[in-house]
Amino acid sequence: MNVLIVFAHPERQSLNGALLDVALSELHAQGHQVQVSDLYAMNWKATVDHDDFPGLKPTDRLKVAAESSREFAAHTLTDDVKAEQEKLLWADTVILQFPLWWFAMPAILKGWVDRVYACGFAYGVGEHSDSRWGDRYGEGVMAGKRAMLIVTTGGWQEHYSARGINGPIDDLLFPIHHGILFYPGFTVLPPFVAYRVDRTDEAKFAVMADDLRERIRTLNDTPPIAYRQQNEGDYQIPTMQLLPDLEEPGVKGFALHLQNKKG
C-alpha cells in the first residue's frame, strides 16, 4: 500500500523524529511505499494569501473559496499545493504526525490543510441542492483511503481522560478527525497518542516504539472510528441535525456523531 506521512515538527532529532523513524522502518519492513512531507524541512508556506492564486491580480479582491475552486478546476494552483494533492491521491493511507501544541496541531500543519484542501478537492465536492449537501462526512475525494494521527503530548493520559482537566482527547481531536479527515471522505482510525513524553527515557521510548510498530502493522485491520455518514439517512435535511430518534439518553456533543445501538 502507499502511505503518506505529513510530519510537522521543527526538529528532526526530536522524539517525534525518532517515532517517524520507527514508523518508516516498520512500513518499509511491511513492503509499503512511503512518502514523507516533512513540512519544516520543506519550508512549507503556512498561510493562504494572494500568492496562492497566480490567476489573481494583486489588486483583485481575494475570495478564498471562490478563487480556490476556480484555480483548482483550471489546474493553476501553485506547484507546492499541486504536489501535495498528488501525494494525497497517490496514498491509500495518510498519517498526520505532530506534537500537540496548544491543544491543536502546529500552525504549519494547519496551514498545509488550509492550502492543500482546495475547493473542489476536499470541500465543495458533489451535488449541492435542497436535498443533498454535497459529498462530505464519509464521502468525497478521499473515500476509500484510511487516515490516522500520531500525536505526542506533554500532558498525562489522565489529564485527557473523561474527567481530566484538559478535556477528553477524543473531543480535542474531533475537529481533526471529523472535520479535517472524515469530511473529505477518509476512513479515520483511532489515533496513536503518546502521553507525558517530555521526560521520555530509553525504557519508555522502547514501549512507545513497540506500541507504534503494532499500530503500523495493523493499519489495514484496525476498526475505524464509527462516525455516521452524512448521506445515509441519519441527519435531517437541510438542517443537518441528527434525527431525534437516533439520540441515546445522556449522549451529547461530539459523541452524537458516532453510531450507537440505535443505529
**Strand ranges (E), 42-201:** 93-99, 146-152, 187-188, 192-194
Write out the binding residues for ligand FAD, residues 17-76 only, by CB under 6 A. Answer: 18
- Taking the least distance from each CB to ligand FAD, the nearer of 22 and 181 is 22
Place of cell 503494532: 214
Question: Least distance to ligand FAD from the beta carbon of 30, Å?
Answer: 21
Scanning 84-92, 122-130, 191-199, 253-261 for contacts with ligand FAD by CB under 6 A, the matching segment is 191-199
- 130 is a site residue for ligand FAD (CB under 6 A): no
Nearest Cα neighbor of 189 from 56, 73, 92 is 92
The secondary structure of the chain in percent helix, strand, coil, rounded to multiples of 5, reads 35, 15, 50
Among 199, 223, 249, 253, binds ligand FAD (CB under 6 A): 199
Phi, psi of 87 (to 5 degrees): -65, -40
Which region, left, alpha or beta, applies to residue 87 given φ > 0 means left and ψ of -120 to 50 means alpha?
A: alpha
- 202 is a site residue for ligand FAD (CB under 6 A): yes
CA 80 to the chain's CA centroid: 19
DSSP code for 258: B
DSSP code for 176: I
Scanning 15-23, 113-121, 130-138, 230-238 for contacts with ligand FAD by CB under 6 A, the matching segment is 15-23
- Taking the least distance from each CB to ligand FAD, the nearer of 63 and 204 is 204
**Strand ranges (E), 121-183:** 146-152
**Strand ranges (E), 198-261:** none
- 154 is a site residue for ligand FAD (CB under 6 A): yes
Among 169, 193, 197, 216, binds ligand FAD (CB under 6 A): 197
Question: Least distance to ligand FAD from the beta carbon of 177, Å?
Answer: 17
Scanning 9-17, 84-92, 107-115, 138-146 for contacts with ligand FAD by CB under 6 A, the matching segment is 9-17
Write out the binding residues for ligand FAD, residues 100-129 only, by CB under 6 A. Answer: 100-103
User: Is the bond leading into 238 cis (omega within 30 degrees of zero)?
Assistant: yes
Among 99, 138, 184, 191, binds ligand FAD (CB under 6 A): 99
- Taking the least distance from each CB to ligand FAD, the nearer of 40 and 101 is 101
State how far the Cα of 156 lies from the Cα of 169, in Å rounded to an integer: 11
How many chain residues touch ligand FAD (CB under 6 A)?
A: 20
Interface residue list for ligand FAD (CB under 6 A): 9, 14-16, 18, 99-103, 152-155, 197-200, 202, 205
